[in-house]
Amino acid sequence: MTAYRAVLFDWMLTLADYPSRAAMLERAAARVGRTLSDVDSAALLERMDAAESEPAVVEAMARCDCSVAEHRHAEMLHFRRSGMDGEMAEACYSLLGEPEVHPVYAEVPNVLGALAERGVRIVVISDIHVNLRDHARLAGVDDLIDGWVLSFEHGVQKPDPRIYELALEAALVEPAEALMVGDRHTADGAASLLGIDSLILPARRDRDPLVADDRLDGVIRLVG
């Protein structure tokens, strides 16, 4: 078995929770003192799904995590094309990237700790528009992470090979010595094009993020 010297972790839906779109709408409505009926929520979700396929939205989303400005432009465009009013759109956007909205999964400290004990370097590689170091610090796992490659800080996002090259540099390893762990084969799986083994896990959805599960146990087994 390959002796991995580093694990490159995606963040959202791999190490941290990302609530469903319906849950985010409910939170946003509450933030501005509104209540969405089931009918209103279903209609808005349907419009959001439709707007997501509009060429302008698709184009904007293709680079949405390359900078803070591009992220806001893409998300607000999507919200507007979905028919949201300004107040609701701002409320939705304000939730994206807030630590309390995206808690680290309960099992993550133990998994990262087990890797660190084995001398494995841990690098987070994420398409994101906020500084996840703050999230890790609040979750008490920042001292277990050796490096960060956050797309908005480099102007590049998955599946561009450059972001994986940056992660390898941060991990101080060669491609064959690293394991990429994520939830999207189209993005995280692209690491394999550089010779990095990839483990693509089903996104953890609709489960309490504060209750540990065994989804990441395979990472420990692969590292050995």
Q: Which of 185, 160, 156, 166 is nearest to 124 (CA)?
A: 166
The pLDDT tens digits for 63-118 are: 999 999 999 999 999 999 999 999 999 999 999 999 999 999 999 999 999 999 99
pLDDT of 171 strictly over 90: yes
Query: Does one domain contain both 44 and 133?
Result: no
- pLDDT given for residue 201 in this prediction: 93
Number of independent structural domains in the chain: 2
Is pLDDT above 50 for 1? no
Closest CA to 166 of 213, 222, 128, 125: 125
Note whether 108 and 219 are same-domain residues. Answer: yes
Q: What is the pLDDT of residues 10-23, one digit of tens each?
A: 999 999 999 999 99
Domain that holds residue 181: 6-17+102-223
Helices 68-81 and 38-51 cross at an angle (nearest 10°) of 120
pLDDT category of residue 156 using cuts at 50, 70 and 90: very high
Q: What are the angstrom distances between the C-alpha of 198 and each of 124, 150, 190, 219? A: 14, 19, 8, 10
Which of 41, 70, 95 is the C-terminal boundary of a domain?
A: 95
Domain assignment present for residue 1? The answer is no
Tens of pLDDT, residue by residue over 32-61, are 999 999 999 999 999 999 999 999 999 999
Q: What is the pTM of this model?
A: 0.93
Give dist(CA 174, CA 67) in Å, integer: 28
| Alpha carbon distances (Å) from 220 to 5, 7, 110, 136, 199 | 12, 10, 10, 20, 12
- Residues 10, 29, single domain; the answer is no
State pLDDT tens for residues 173-214. 999 999 999 999 999 989 999 999 999 998 887 788 989 989
Pair (211, 156) in one structural domain: yes
User: Do 210 and 112 share a structural domain?
Assistant: yes
Whether residue 122 lies inside any domain: the answer is: yes
Residue 2, pLDDT above cutoff 90: no
Kindly state whether residues 36 and 80 are assigned to the same domain.
yes
pLDDT of res. 202: 87
| Confidence (pLDDT) at 9 | 98
38 lies in the same domain as 111: no
Q: How far is the C-alpha of 213 from the C-alpha of 125, rounded, in Å?
A: 22
Same domain, 67 and 86: yes
Euclidean distance between CA atoms 103 and 141, whole angstroms: 12
- Decide which of 95, 122, 143 is a domain's last residue: 95
Q: 55 and 158: one domain?
A: no
